[in-house]
């Protein structure tokens, strides 16, 4: 009941509008009946009872006179509020024998007819305070469990102090009812109660039926209410990979007067995100975003809710596809270096290849050029073991793969040096044709390659053999020659084909070049 600016350290919810009437009671049923009757007789519109007690079911009949009194006072047009209690009990708890059940106890005046029973919310929370009684049938509404007050007989100094209990929750809720009534004095007690309940907030705590909403209650009494909005997805503080995660932004928006509300979404980094109660985005910029959902009703009243999310930059992934770790070459051979790269965060499609300028080859730590495909003359490397490294960078993060090869002195017959010239390593094809014989979709692709030999010069025809492995399976022969058109099948939605060109010279020495391509189909 404390009024604002009273210089005593505390102000009550109804302080600006209430005229207090103090009536003494001993808390027993008899004096309680007399007290509420006197309060009503002296003109009280709202009566608060910050006390209560647990009466075992076997003697609950003793509360009936008190209950008839609260019911009669309520019927006379007075609102009555009572504390739920501070034992953490479920006031609706039952005992049963077979299908016959009864409440274990009567909590008075909380469960009396005509009384609005008030439970307590934990500090800075929309959940129940641990010691507050509760009950889905009997505890009607919740309000703060702990409040700041000024002096009292036990603490007479002018020092603000925190006090806790549903004895504070009950007058808090009663104060909200007083504000509603003051906003429109023509309302009946029943209409004030309806507004109190209708505008109350919902809680994620299932033991909290509802909790007071003073602002919306007053606004409804005055003829309008502000809308309510709550972001339900994504979670506050969550992290998401750019490009990979199609983030669902969802909000619940409601208004007493308007059935449908327009919702707009904004980001502190990227500005407007979209409109509607559900918006999907995968292209927000890297970093931390404060995302806000806002709405305005037809009366011009607005509401908003905000969360913080982080858009994550994932490192790229690189792979050396040729040569293989441990391969051996001769100084007269050409070594084809082939690598693949994938950036998880590319748009509009994730896992696209990095640009050639963002990948680099090194041999024994010395740069050998950018690009996914390079060739190195064996004669430029000394005889012995060498470390080949392939690095890809997205500008902020990088990934490196390394293998080891060995360079040997030339034998009497040096193996040829084959090179696949088409398709490009890492190329992707859609399987858009159907083979009725094998009952499978395929992509028609032209393979082309060359091979030079130290002794035989250029090789062709049956000296060049094409093979393929689908998704790591068995090796299949595709045919021979420097160029041929083949069918690359798609048994799955996404398929990896490892295509190898093997060149064999007249002396029987052979060497290979291998690329990886992808074949996909709509599934």
Residues 6 or more apart whose CB falls under 8 angstroms from that of 404 comprise 325, 326, 385, 386, 387, 388
Q: Are residues 156 and 33 located together in one domain of the fold?
A: yes
DSSP 8-class letter at 367: E
Residues 134 and 244 in one domain: no
Q: How many helices (H) and strands (E) does the chain have?
A: 5, 36
State how beta strands 115-121 and 141-144 pair. parallel
CATH code, domain carrying 402:
2.60.40.10
Shared-domain flag, residues 192 and 334: no
Measured CA to CA, the distance from residue 65 to residue 37 in angstroms comes to 13
What digits encode the pLDDT tens for the residues 225-282? Answer: 778 899 999 999 999 999 999 999 999 998 877 889 999 999 999 999 999 999 999 9
Residue found under tokens 């068995």: 474
509/501 Cα distance (integer angstroms): 14
Q: How far from each other are the two terminal CA atoms of the chain, in whole angstroms?
A: 68
End position of a domain, from candidates 175, 199, 221? 221
Instruction: State pLDDT tens for residues 78-123.
Output: 999 999 999 999 999 998 888 888 889 999 999 999 999 999 999 9
Q: Per residue of the chain (523 residues), give pLDDT as tens.
A: 677 777 776 778 988 898 989 999 988 999 999 999 999 999 999 999 999 999 998 898 989 999 999 999 999 999 999 999 999 999 999 988 888 888 899 999 999 999 999 999 999 999 999 999 999 999 999 999 999 988 877 877 778 889 999 999 999 999 999 999 999 999 999 999 999 999 999 999 999 999 999 988 998 898 877 788 999 999 999 999 999 999 999 999 988 778 899 999 999 999 999 999 999 999 999 999 999 999 999 888 899 999 999 999 999 999 999 999 999 999 999 999 999 999 999 988 888 999 999 999 999 999 999 999 999 999 999 999 999 999 999 999 999 999 999 999 999 999 999 999 999 999 999 999 999 999 999 999 999 999 999 889 999 999 999 999 999 999 999 999 999 999 999 999 999 999 999 999 999 999 999 999 999 998 8
Q: Which residues pair with 322 in a beta bridge?
A: 338
Same domain membership, residue 307 and residue 320: no
What the block records as the tokens of 187 is 């309302």
Q: Are residues 157 and 49 in the same domain?
A: yes
Q: Are residues 372 and 273 in the same domain?
A: no
Residue 254 contacts residue 222 (beta carbons within 8 Å): no
Beta carbons of 226 and 301 less than 8 angstroms apart: yes
For residue 128, give the CATH number of its domain: 3.40.50.200
Q: Of the residues 195, 221, 247, which one is the last residue of a structural domain?
A: 221
Q: What are phi and psi of 190, to 5 degrees?
A: -65, -40
Residue found under tokens 């017959």: 413
Residues of the domain holding 197? 29-221
Q: How far is CA 44 from CA 4, 22, 332, 444, in A?
A: 22, 10, 107, 89
* Residue 168 · residue 184 · CB < 8 Å: no
Domain count, the chain: 4
Among residues 279, 294, 312, the one where a domain terminates is 312
Same domain, 133 and 173: yes
Query: Could you give the CA distance from residue 18 to residue 204 in angstroms, rounded to a whole number?
Result: 32
């Amino acid at each position: 009941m404390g009024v604002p600016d009273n210089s005593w350290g505390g102000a009550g919810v109804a302080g600006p509008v209430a005229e207090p009437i103090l009536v003494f009671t001993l808390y027993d049923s008899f004096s309680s009946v007399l007290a509420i009757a006197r309060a009503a007789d002296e003109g009280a519109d709202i009566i608060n009872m910050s006390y209560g007690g647990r009466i075992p079911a076997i003697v609950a009949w003793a509360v009936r006179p008190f209950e008839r009194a609260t019911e009669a006072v309520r019927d006379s047009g007075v609102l009555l509020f009572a504390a739920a209690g501070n034992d953490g009990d479920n006031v609706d708890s039952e005992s049963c024998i077979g299908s016959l059940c009864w409440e274990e106890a009567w909590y008075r005046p909380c469960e009396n007819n005509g009384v609005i029973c008030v439970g307590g919310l934990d500090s800075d929370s929309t959940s129940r305070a641990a010691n507050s009684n509760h009950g889905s049938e009997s505890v009607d509404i919740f309000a703060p469990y702990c409040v700041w007050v000024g002096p009292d007989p036990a603490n007479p100094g002018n020092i603000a102090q925190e006090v806790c209990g549903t004895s504070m929750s009950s007058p808090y809720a009663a104060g909200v009812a007083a504000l509603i009534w003051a906003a429109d004095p023509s309302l009946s007690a029943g209409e004030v109660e309806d507004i109190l309940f209708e505008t109350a907030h919902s809680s994620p705590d299932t033991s909290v039926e509802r909790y007071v909403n003073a602002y919306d209650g007053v606004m409804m009494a005055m003829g309008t209410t502000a809308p309510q909005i709550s972001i339900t997805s994504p979670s506050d503080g969550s992290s998401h990979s750019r490009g990979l995660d199609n983030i669902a932004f969802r909000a619940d928006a409601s208004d007493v007067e308007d059935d449908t509300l327009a919702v707009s979404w904004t980001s502190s980094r990227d500005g407007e995100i979209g409109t509607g109660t559900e918006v999907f985005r995968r292209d927000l910029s890297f970093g931390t975003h404060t995302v806000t959902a806002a709405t305005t009703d037809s009366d011009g009243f607005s509401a908003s809710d905000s969360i913080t999310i982080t858009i994550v930059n994932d490192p790229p992934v690189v792979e050396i596809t040729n040569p293989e770790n441990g391969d051996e070459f001769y100084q007269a051979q050409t070594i084809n270096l082939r690598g693949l790269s994938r950036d998880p965060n590319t748009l509009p499609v994730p896992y696209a290849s990095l640009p050639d300028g963002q990948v680099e080859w090194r041999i024994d730590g010395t740069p050998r050029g950018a690009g996914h495909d390079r060739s190195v003359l064996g004669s430029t490397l000394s005889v012995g073991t060498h470390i080949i490294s392939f690095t890809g960078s997205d500008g902020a993060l990088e990934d490196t793969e390394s293998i080891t090869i060995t360079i040997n002195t030339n034998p009497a017959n040096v193996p040829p040096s084959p090179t696949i010239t088409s398709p490009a390593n890492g190329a992707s094809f859609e399987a858009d044709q159907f083979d009725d014989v094998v009952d499978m979709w395929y992509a028609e692709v032209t393979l082309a390659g060359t091979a030079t030999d130290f002794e035989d010069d250029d090789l062709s025809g049956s000296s060049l053999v094409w093979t393929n492995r689908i998704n790591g399976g068995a090796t299949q022969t595709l045919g021979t020659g420097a160029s041929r058109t083949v069918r690359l099948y798609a048994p799955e939605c996404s398929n990896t084909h490892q295509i190898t060109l093997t060149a064999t010279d007249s002396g029987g020495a052979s060497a290979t070049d291998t690329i990886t391509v992808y074949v996909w189909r709509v599934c």
